[in-house]
Amino acid sequence: MSVSAILLAAGASRRMRGADKLTEHVRGMPLLRDRALMLIGSGISRLVVVLPPNKTDRADVIRDIECSRVINADAASGMASSIKCGVSELSPTTNAAMILPADMPDLTSADIDALLAAHVMTPDRIIRAASSDGVAGSPVVFPRALFPRLQALEGDESGRTILVQNHEMIDLVPLPSTHATLDLDTPEAWATWRDRS
């Protein structure tokens, strides 16, 4: 099975009040670099990183990592444009796309491999990560049959719309603790995460 990961890293980081959450340091490196290396260390076939046109420091932190870098010139319009940019980079032999935001610091390569294993077992279904107590989160693995729907998203519409419309074909995969639900969008969230790490 060929599963590509699309790492969404084109957001404006507005809630950080001037800081860029994706260049905040975790485990001794910028978060974006850490997340890209985590994915490279898993069983994904290919990594696509979607970047904004106006934050060159994000591109700099992954310049030596083996991945496809896509600049989303329309990043300000919302998440849909980033998802479409990522999907447009996938090869015709890609069976599925794993989509995840880049601001989730606790996801591990083992978590990614658990989702890939679930996809191998049921390749025609949507595989969605969940917290250990069953709260749905990210990443989400979309089978190729849904690529046209992903490419039809508009504005700030995310893959959540597709999940709602296709809820009957979703399989949840529980990951440890809050790995699938914790993201860091604000300085306060970063401070809390650092205090417990």
Q: What is the pLDDT of residues 144-187, one digit of tens each?
A: 999 999 999 987 777 888 999 999 999 999 999 999 999 998 99
Report the chain's mean pLDDT, rounded to a whole number: 94
Domains of the chain (ranges; CATH) run 3-196 (3.90.550.10)
- Tokens matching residue 163: 């999940």
Distance (Å, whole) CA 154 – CA 140: 19
Q: Model pTM?
A: 0.95
Closest CA to 102 of 49, 141, 181: 49
Q: What is the pLDDT of residue 12?
A: 75
Average pLDDT for runs of 10 along the chain of length 197: 95 79 95 98 98 92 96 91 96 96 97 98 98 98 97 84 95 98 92 89
Ramachandran sector of residue 13 (left: φ over 0; alpha: ψ -120 to 50; beta: rest): left
